[in-house]
Structure 1
């Protein structure tokens, strides 16, 4: 029998339905624990750290790559390792979606998986390996260390079309707020996690909108500090830009510090999405707080990273991070 919307019974059924969804969500979150592998794979963290450290010696861009990879994984289907899956003849996977084309260092996760499988076969998910590797990327770059809740399962679905859900470098504050809120993340989470831009490099295509043809009246975004804008234009001319041309996200691109926020307040941010953080009173106050205190930033970053990475809806522990079982 159908229940009409204006029937009190409809509200009751709807309430139970919503509670069921919330209960299921929190069951997934609460299943994660820092001690998840204490009995089944006690040396998992040291094995992953060793692999990440070795990769960093050969390539200083690895930490930024791993941190970005984890973020892009979590923002699509929760932290389920779906970003690691390869495309097949019938399906184009997330890693081949436009926002993810520049992702790299997947080999680090492959090597970590091999090391962990040698210790504890069929036990540790690729999603957990990626979460731990991202933490190590931060710690080994001079940032904080934290206990990563573990117990994620790997997903079986990865679609390039879903990468359109990722917040983009040209987003304004309203778009960013909506994107983060849809994933249960607050404005403070938004500002804290944006601090991940203290590591890494951006290609010209990600910020061309700010230095060429900004609007009908101005060529350059007026919020950019003039000499900084000129330096960006010199490496990213309107035409004949080299494929790998771009700029570091802050002046210490391999060190995890609060320099990103200091430069943001000086008009030396790279993305429009970075600049948007100081267009709102609430977010600008947080930017100022993190710029003045590295400890405040690191504490907030850890809290927000744990929050972001604790939503997972996977189903299996993959034997190969690139393919489903």
Structure 2
């Protein structure tokens, strides 16, 4: 090979190498910029979603349903921490379906302190549905906000729950109510009442006088090989939530119950001269039981004390405490 040919080959090879490096750096820089931008966008979107959730609470004793439409297919990551702050917190992270790659990098997690978000660990889709029910034990403590995006099929639903669901779902919720699992759509999550064979099985356990004929006032929800005890507005939370998020949020609710019970105990004491309710010791005991809460089994004794307070309060007429 002559010298001129060698120089030409070297220059050509050098140009190819330099060009490849430039292209690589351009792609790398673009990827980094896109990733950084996606992180910021997803963090802001999570904060926006939190702000939308704030006004979704119920007024008085009403339950309600809502849905939120998202611009893109989105993954919402939901976690719960019962030890953070006074009454714990939920945290959410978002990741959107990207045209550049499969899923964008999740944004920063955003805290939700004043809501109790019962959901699976990951919700994926363009629409998120909500059922919001008051948690009363016996007075209102907070709202149970159950979030989901899958279709559900409720089988052999008790009449009281059926009427409530029909009033809630309207044209909003993707919930089908049937008499047999065979009537459920293939891509739906089946929920059986008082029988097995579904993805989720619900067993009512309330047989005492305080149940007033409502067998499903409390009971067990079986899902993911886990049994979750529910009561007083927690049924939908147990159905739509992952076991770990459910147990964590219940612990948060019970902690707030302890605080609310202290408030009612003080209210009973201050109003004793004008209208003695006699409920100060009972509400104080409920507060103590809440403080000693360790797990779902403790809900049963808390529920018993709650029913005692409610029975006494209903006999007070104009002097009732709540």
Which has a greater percent of helix?
1
- TM-score over 0.5 for the pair: no
With normalisation by structure 2, the TM-score equals 0.27
Larger radius of gyration: 2
Which has a greater percent of strand?
2
With normalisation by structure 1, the TM-score equals 0.26
